[in-house]
Chain A
Amino acid sequence: MNNPNIYIPYLMRIEKITQEAPGVKTFRLKFENKQEAEEFEFKAGQFGEYSIVGVGESTFCIASSPTRKGYIECTFRQVGRVTSALASAEEGDVIGFRGPYGNTFPIDEWKGKNLVFIAGGIALPPMRCVIWNALDLRENFEDITIVYGARTVADLVYKHELEEWGNRPDIKLVTTVDPGGETPDWKGEIGFVPSVLEKVAPSAENTIAIVCGPPIMIKFTFPVLEKLGFADHNIYTTLENRMKCGFGKCGRCNVGEKYVCIDGPVFSGEELKLLPAEY
């Protein structure tokens, strides 16, 4: 960030608001300052601090792809005070944004490989960034599979994009909802993400698996991946510890010696196994 005071946010104008699901919104944000817009760069996996001045800051990943220039997007669920204030903002309003922070998905190292994206619930945003990043560089990768699940059909986010991805011949998209969450015309799978993944059974041969979701989903997905033959170093996930500063000073996001805000949020399965259970 070019301001020497690292706590000062960029001013961003909300260009577009999309209601993704009940309580879940996507903001498309444009920099108020032209020069800042031009200089801003980020990579897939990074996050930022989004704020309403007078209320506070909240941590979301950057959900748009770094290949799409001129704006960033975030998708968030209204859960607390800051997210409620953000949810009541309108198109044209100005909000604050600090970032990008954190490490990135090593997408350059994945060239020539198959990619399997496994996401649950509101955890699609961090994945969406890297999915679009991969799709915009489609020729760099072999097969791309997306397994995405939510509690109910209404809770699925990015419905338009899911439709688009579903129609593309170069992507295998599998969507699922928890038992009881289906609607009469639901054509996807019914079942929890880990069991649906087991059914889809992507080959582990030359494949990278990217998993994002609530802790419970991650917990049951890792054994499935192991069963399918995925080595720990070919699995990536993101951690979401509570944050304030985003740059390793406020002292609250660490898992053992690793700061999620600096050393993460992206961790490989191999790295995760070395971390204590503090997330």
Chain B
Amino acid sequence: MQIDNYLIRQTSLEKLFNNLIGNGKTVFAPQASEKRILFEKVKAFSEITDNYLVTTNAAKSVVFPRTEKLFSYKKTKETTEITDASTEAVPEVVLWGTRPCDAAAFIPLTDTFNGDYPDILYNNRRGKVYLLSFSCATCDEYCFCTSVNGSPGNTAGSDILFTKLSTGDYLAEVITEKGKKLVAENQTLFEAAPEEEKEPNLAKVKTYFNQDEIQAKLQNLFENPVWDEKSRACLGCGSCAFVCPVCSCFDIQDEKHGSKGTRLRCWDSCGFSLFTLHTSGHNPRETQGARWRQRILHKFLYMPDKSKVAGCVGCGRCSRVCPADINILETVTSI
């Protein structure tokens, strides 16, 4: 699709925000708390911070909640009645302030929840999400989007991408139908495209590796000491998976209250020792090294083999959050 360029004044961003709220949309945006910046539901423009690199948590919970009802049931003497959770209305959600890596992460995430078995719960939510991303002007040593086919000004996945220019105003690249719809609803706020180039306003993210080369190398790396070596300090806490915008492994659990209850889908992680444990006690992934290998191979080999897109967008969240200082970039570049 042809990308339309506009200028939006710094002062108009708040108007855009207010219009979105006024139109009944729920807005999630980066909000500063004591130590962290989190994607949270916001009601006023003043609650949003623009002083952040990436949020600590990923925006995925908007389409893939941490726990989600699949259905509810009621058991009677005679039978069981099931109420489908996918018929419940889901709100229109604007993700305001996603980074280009966050937006790109929705591509592999959507792949996972589709294929031969389209997941209507995910798709219902995803269909109602608008992604208004902001390019990155800064990066840190954990960022590596340019190694996984991304960039600090990448438009893939976003509906609109804003890039702050030297004047303080923004270049608005309108990428999708959804983006165009928002522009049409807020026409007066979008002015003729600026003259200024986008590129000089973007962070310079070092390219550490080439994803295709890593993919090729991993083909023959299943049995390798690197997995144990790099995961020796791993606590198996699962934080890396929970903050990852692409990780989508889940568990299915039932919750019961008397004769009623729900079946839930809950985030899970391949890093947990119980993840693959058979009831017999046998565990196909016995060691933390085997689990770390699964995480790397899934993201950098299995996913790109299957759908051409890697399962990592280089946001660096997992490495920033890891209590054992395990660094995915360090593992991948050591291969």
Chain A residues within CB distance 8 Å of chain B: 3-9, 11, 32, 51, 53-57, 79-80, 83, 94, 96, 215, 240-242, 244-245, 247-257, 262, 276, 278-279
Contact = CB atoms under 8 A, between A and B. Distances in A.
Contact of B275 (A3, A252, A279): A252
B112 interface: yes
Contact of B265 (A7, A96, A241, A252): A7
A204 to B, nearest CB: 30
Query: Quick one: which of A251, A252, A254 has the most chain B CB within 10 A?
Result: A251
Contacts of A250: 249-252, 268
A255 B301 contact: no
B82 interface: yes
Contact of B252 (A94, A242, A244, A262): A244
A256 B73 CA distance: 36
B4 to A, nearest CB: 34
A151 to B, nearest CB: 14
Say whether chain B's binding surface is mostly helix, strand, loop, or mixed: mixed
Interface in B237-276: 248-256, 261, 263, 265, 268, 270, 275-276
A11 B76 CA distance: 13
A5 B284 contact: no
Contact of A11 (B82, B275, B298): B82
A253 B278 CA distance: 11
A257 B305 contact: yes
Given A79-B280, A248-B117, A257-B301, A94 B254 contact: no
A252 B116 contact: no
B80 A279 contact: no
A7 B250 contact: no
Contacts of B184: none
Nearest to A79: B279
A77 to B, nearest CB: 10
A54 B75 contact: yes
Nearest to A85: B254
Contact of A249 (B84, B112, B277): B112
B277 A53 contact: no
B71 A245 contact: no
A100 B301 CA distance: 28
Nearest to A3: B84
A257 B268 contact: no
B121 interface: yes
11 contacts: A5-B86, A6-B120, A53-B75, A56-B254, A79-B280, A215-B282, A244-B250, A249-B112, A251-B268, A252-B268, A279-B284
A55 B254 contact: yes
Interface residues of B, number: 52
B226 interface: no
B117 A247 contact: yes
Given A56-B254, A251-B250, A252-B275, A278 B80 contact: no
Given A7-B70, A53-B73, A242 B278 contact: yes
Contact of B84 (A8, A53, A241, A256): A8
A32 B82 CA distance: 13
Given A6-B120, A254-B302, A278 B265 contact: no
A72 to B, nearest CB: 18
Contacts of A7: 70-71, 121, 252, 263, 265
A190 B113 CA distance: 50
A54 B120 contact: no
Contacts of A80: 279
A8 B71 contact: yes
B270 A5 contact: no
A251 B301 contact: no
Query: Quick one: which of A3, A51, A252 has the most chain B CB within 10 A?
Result: A252
A251 B270 contact: yes
Given A242-B284, A276-B222, 8 more contacts: A6-B117, A7-B71, A32-B79, A51-B254, A247-B116, A250-B249, A254-B302, A257-B301
Query: Quick one: which of B71, B275, B284, B297 has the most chain A CB within 10 A?
Result: B284
A123 to B, nearest CB: 13
B132 to A, nearest CB: 28
A256 B222 contact: yes
A254 B80 CA distance: 33
Contacts of B116: 247-248, 262
Given A244-B250, A251-B248, A257-B301, A5 B261 contact: no
A57 B84 contact: no
Interface in B276-318: 276-280, 282, 284-285, 290, 294, 297-298, 301-302, 305-306
B82 A8 contact: yes
A96 B113 CA distance: 23
Contacts of B222: 256, 276
B21 interface: no
